[in-house]
Amino acid sequence: MADTMTPATTTTGADRHPDTGLELQSVLSGEMDEISRKWAVTGEPEHQPRRDYPPYRSTLLRHPTKDPQQVDPEGVELWAPAFGQRDVDPLESDLTIQRGGEPLGERMVVTGRVLDGEGRPVRHQLVEIWQANAGGRYVHQRDQHPAPLDPNFTGMGRTLTDADGVYRFTTIKPGPYPWRNHHTAWRPAHIHFSVFGTEFTQRLVTQMYFPGDPLFALDPIYQSIVDPAARERLVATYDHDLTTHEWATGYRWDIVLTGSHRTPTEDDTEGDL
């Protein structure tokens, strides 16, 4: 994993769009291809997003600039909330019933297991999700791109894993959306996942993607995990047996917390919204 800051490639006027002034996709794609070529020389496994990934321009702003400070984790956890069965209503896992009507878009079920590195279930853990609506827009004041808000969709839900480590959500497939990393920058459709232990200090955050998305090769956030095998662990699997007749499509996606098959998380690199 890269721990040093690398300046972004200097670009000229010809590398920027004349209307927006933003760098062209070809510039970013060239940088991503070069990073991938350098990684392929060694092929050393990388299981997490790189802290410093120049094509994802804001990693230069998000990169740690100060030395870590020692804290007492037990002292912090005395003030952090703990979650149990009584704290989460089962209806919170259905994002399609939170308002007065049906949200627009492709209804789907997302389910999977939360596992440790040995394949054992992680029981009764809080799992939260948040996502854009079918038009690719979040219910958030920072999201002002010209896509419609859905009055019947909040984009947020949570649940607890059961005794076998299984979680399950009913939701709407999110749409892709633009972001201003470069000209014509669009994020692949994804759902943000947050997994807690017993306190907020044990929180892990990651993203789940959908198979076959044409934006994968163009997206610096997805490509900031340079190891293709690790990237693939972020992609859900369509499951026709999980799909229900005339109701919802089905996707499966397991979250592995430790070990060599660990799901990449945003420990060091915060994503977008």
The DSSP secondary-structure symbol of 248 reads B
- What is the mean pLDDT of the segment spanning 102-109? 97
Span 253-270, average pLDDT: 78
- Whole-angstrom distance, CA of residue 50 vs CA of residue 34: 15
pLDDT band at 269, cuts 50/70/90? very low
pLDDT tens string 52-99: 899 999 888 877 778 877 777 666 666 666 666 678 899 999 999 988
What is residue 4's predicted lDDT score, i.e. its pLDDT? 36
For residue 29, what are its two tokens?
């794609």
Q: Residue type for 179, please?
A: W
Q: Which residues are part of the catalytic machinery?
A: 138, 177, 187, 190, 192
> What are the Cα distances from residue 193, in Å, to 92, 204, 230, 246?
15, 8, 17, 27
Contact assessment for residue 273 and residue 207, using Cβ atoms and an 8 Å cutoff: no
Domains of the chain plus CATH, in order, are 17-63+90-139+146-256 (2.60.130.10)
Average pLDDT taken over every residue of the chain:
88
Is residue 104 predicted with pLDDT exceeding 90?
yes
Dump pLDDT digits (tens) for 135-181: 999 999 999 899 999 999 999 999 999 999 999 999 999 999 999 99
**Residue 185: partners with Cβ closer than 8 Å, 6 or more residues away:** 22, 25, 28, 178, 179, 218, 219
**pLDDT tens digits, one per residue of 203-252:** 899 999 999 999 999 999 999 999 999 999 999 999 999 999 999 999 99
